[in-house]
Amino acid sequence: MFDWLKRKDTAIDALLRHLEACKNQAPKGTRQLLAKLLDALSDAVQNQWTRQHVKNYAAQVAQGETHEKFIYDHIMKTCGDILQSGKVHACRGVLNDEGMQYLGLFNHAIDRLISLGCYTQDWAEEYLRAPVQKGILETD
């Protein structure tokens, strides 16, 4: 009779729950920064994603991608972009305090993805960490 009150658990509902859970897994000194990144992702999912975005995400999950992988890929890519942007540098090749927090989150995300079995240590070093480290050194 009141079936409309029951909410079907969807991939998006599960993603939002995982986003909240990931906030508690931040490395020391990065909890506020991680919360800011995850709150922005949660806001985008809830307010900016179209039906097509939701459909695409649900298809990824149906094909085996985990919510954690999606979240940590997002953290890694976002932090990597910021680290190479020059916005968190004290001078060429030197990160400021905020930059060091982003670097900590970047490395945490990669370590988590390795532990989930998404990447091997060697592959992550060569194709994820090394390019960002190079970008940090070359950015003013």
Span 48-64, pLDDT tens digits: 999 999 999 999 999 99
Specify if 3 maps to a domain.
no
Residue of higher predicted confidence among 2 and 92: 92
**Average per-residue pLDDT for the chain:** 92
Domain with 45 in it: 10-138
Q: Is residue 129 one of the residues assigned to a domain?
A: yes
Does 4 reside within a domain?
Answer: no
- Counting other chains too, the contacts that 131-134 makes at CB distance below 8 Å and 24 or more residues apart are 131/80, 132/80, 132/83, 132/84, 132/106
Cα–Cα distances (Å) from 91 to 71, 87, 96, in that order, read 30, 10, 8
Q: Does the residue 117 lie in any domain? A: yes
Task: Report yes or no on 94 lying in a domain.
Answer: yes
pTM: 0.90
Q: Give the three-state DSSP class for 118.
A: coil
Any domain includes 1:
no
Domain membership flag for residue 57? yes
Quote the number of domains for the chain. 1
